[in-house]
Structure 1
Amino acid sequence: MYLKQADAEKLYQLIEANSQIIIHRHQRPDPDAIGSQLGLKTLIQERFPNKKVLAAGSTSQGLKWLGKMDNVTEADYEGALVIVTDTANQPRIDGHHYNKGAHLVKIDHHPPVDQYGDLQIVYPEASSTCEIIAEISRVLADELPMSANTARLLYAGLIGDTGRFLHDSTTPLTFEVASRLAQTGINLFEISDHFCTMTLNQAKFQAYVLEQLQVSQAGVGQVMITQDILSQFQLTEEQTNAITGLPGTIEGIDAWIIIIEQNVSQGEAWRCRLRSKGPIINTVAAQFGGGGHPKASGVNIHSRENLAKLLTEMDKATTSYRAEQAPSS
């Protein structure tokens, strides 16, 4: 149990003292970002129905089944408590004016690269930010009790960031938290089915990715997805999230990059998703201005030269990893 009682109590004191609360999360949200943001919103609203609690940021079409964002104006921030979930650094915060409230709180499970906020509840050992929020509810018990509405959102984020309990970020505590959430009566099948179901075009796109997959001698897989390919399969960039883990199912691939061409008016740009089954890759992403988890990171690249360098650094990281894993003679 990593959560400090004092952190949970300080958060509760701020929630109790503020009548207006605005919750942000990161850009390009995943289930943990949306789940932690809306889960915390629901947790607070059900305990304090007279408080105004808003969720700020852009709408995710692929995750709208979890809930929607609120219309938040600059005036709403005056005297407000602002909480940012699942966001390691300030440039990634989705939405404006987050720093114009009376108080700023950070709740996150990424490595602490940007120590912003009056209160920072950051535990990299947690599988997800949703797990941290579920633990806050457990520690505070009657002050912020768990409901099925909140549990559904937190469970979605939990299984999203753990890859349905397959990633090595999954711990015994993760299963304990999942069990407590399940005991509220949520529909586990309904939530999991959202992660398993795809459109026919997405299924065909998976076949394309496997056909185009290239693997270096170091064991790094790569796939380039252009804007023309997205148009051909009638997919948005967000819909390609379904194939992010696909190269990792191939024997011999220890790390991989999904390279997505961006639609920019000038120059060239690619959004690169870096994933790993062993090598530490967030240090690679950091060399190019990106970041994330040790085995799941992202970076934006703006030249073919840097794209080639990124691939080279991924090869180096994987080669070093394989050397470390080789049995000593």
Structure 2
Amino acid sequence: MTDVKKRIIEEIKQWDSIIILRHVRPDPDAIGSQAGLKELILTFFPDKKVYLGGETEPSLSFLSEMDEISEETFEQSLVIACDTANTERIDDERYQKASKLIKIDHHPEVDRYGDIQWVSTDASSTCEMITELYLELSNDTPENDLARLLYAGIVADTGRFKFSNTTEKTFRYASFLINASFSRDEIHEKLYEKKRNVMKLEGFVLSNVDVMPSGAAAIKLTKSVLENYQVTSKDSSAIVNCFSTLEGLKAWVFFVEEEDIIRVRLRSKEPIINTLAEQYNGGGHPMASGASVATWEEADELIKKLNQLCEDAS
């Protein structure tokens, strides 16, 4: 058993109460790793009290819902933050009340936080890391719900095994998980189904995306556009890759106007874009990152820098 995983398991053994958190605006890997870790702990240590913290995300409630947690419980619990590179994005500031904090994440490190840190940027997803943690304890087929949660996060963060973060280990772990009895069809349907208004917005995006000769592309979704299609900012995240198969495309950016900021979603096939995201209050993976800007002028500045990155990648 590797040292950091051994330390995490030994720490879990010491606590009667454990709270598991993840990042704000969660995706399937965040929820899957968070809820999957809870199921892992209860599998091997059934007498523990384990809570899931943060806001429930309605679109992902089919994976898991969150718990109501008191201030007193935070003060008496071990806290584990999954899939979160920096403390600013942990979806409950009360983590600071805990006497011990563990970080489990696969993003490039932004904040070095926690009493124990397990950061593996080679992992496709944090769900892949939780699978690895499970395999340190047992080679038996995991319980159905545990396997379902971890498989969903791996599928989502690898783009159904299409992204370059998919490795031999990813396939091996996915193969291990599907030995359990859960419906892969149902997971795929739930992860990728779209509301009718979102599909209409997708048509708008495909008709209006600005593609530059460099291979960079950009689309601006203003509040008026969102209102016209009756779509929320969160809803729009479902179509960030809708033109990813466009010939000659190297990198692209979605701008989504919210009440107080403009949300930025960056994706790439060639140039590294997480360093660009870091210039605009964000970060993430080399090929998939998020950020935010305050004005459309700042958005235009970001587009120019993305265009330059694509030109340099020629």
State the SS of the aligned residue for 1:278: coil
For 2:280, give the aligned amino acid: F
Counterpart of 1:327 in structure 2 is none
Distance in 1, matches of 2:196 and 2:264, equals 25
Residue number among 53, 56, 62 corresponding to 2:50 in the alignment: 53
Distance in 2, matches of 1:106 and 1:297, equals 20
Find out whether 1:131 has 2:128 as its counterpart.
Answer: yes
Residue number among 221, 225, 228 corresponding to 1:232 in the alignment: 228
Residue number among 146, 160, 172 corresponding to 1:164 in the alignment: 160
Residue number among 116, 119, 130 corresponding to 1:122 in the alignment: 119
Report deviation, 1:247. 2.5
Report deviation, 1:146. 2.4
- Once the two structures are overlaid, the 10-residue window that deviates more, 116-125 or 308-317, is 308-317
For 2:48, give the aligned amino acid: K
**1:191-202 alignment runs, 5 A limit:** 191-202=187-198
Counterpart of 1:277 in structure 2 is 269
**1:146-225 alignment runs, 5 A limit:** 146-225=142-221
For 1:260, give the aligned amino acid: V
State the SS of the aligned residue for 1:218: coil
State the SS of the aligned residue for 1:105: strand
Counterpart of 1:17 in structure 2 is 14
State the SS of the aligned residue for 1:246: coil
Runs of 5+ unmatched residues, structure 1: 323-329
Q: CA RMSD in A?
A: 1.4
Counterpart of 1:105 in structure 2 is 102
Counterpart of 2:296 in structure 1 is 304
Distance in 2, matches of 1:86 and 1:157, equals 11
Distance in 1, matches of 2:257 and 2:44, equals 45
Report deviation, 1:237. 1.5
Report deviation, 1:214. 0.6
Report deviation, 1:102. 2.0
Distance in 1, matches of 2:23 and 2:122, equals 19
State the SS of the aligned residue for 1:120: strand
Residue correspondences, number: 314
State the SS of the aligned residue for 2:134: helix
CA contact (8 A) 1:23 1:84 kept: yes
- TM-score in terms of structure 2 length: 0.97
CA contact (8 A) 1:9 1:140 kept: no
Report deviation, 1:97. 1.0
- TM-score in terms of structure 1 length: 0.92
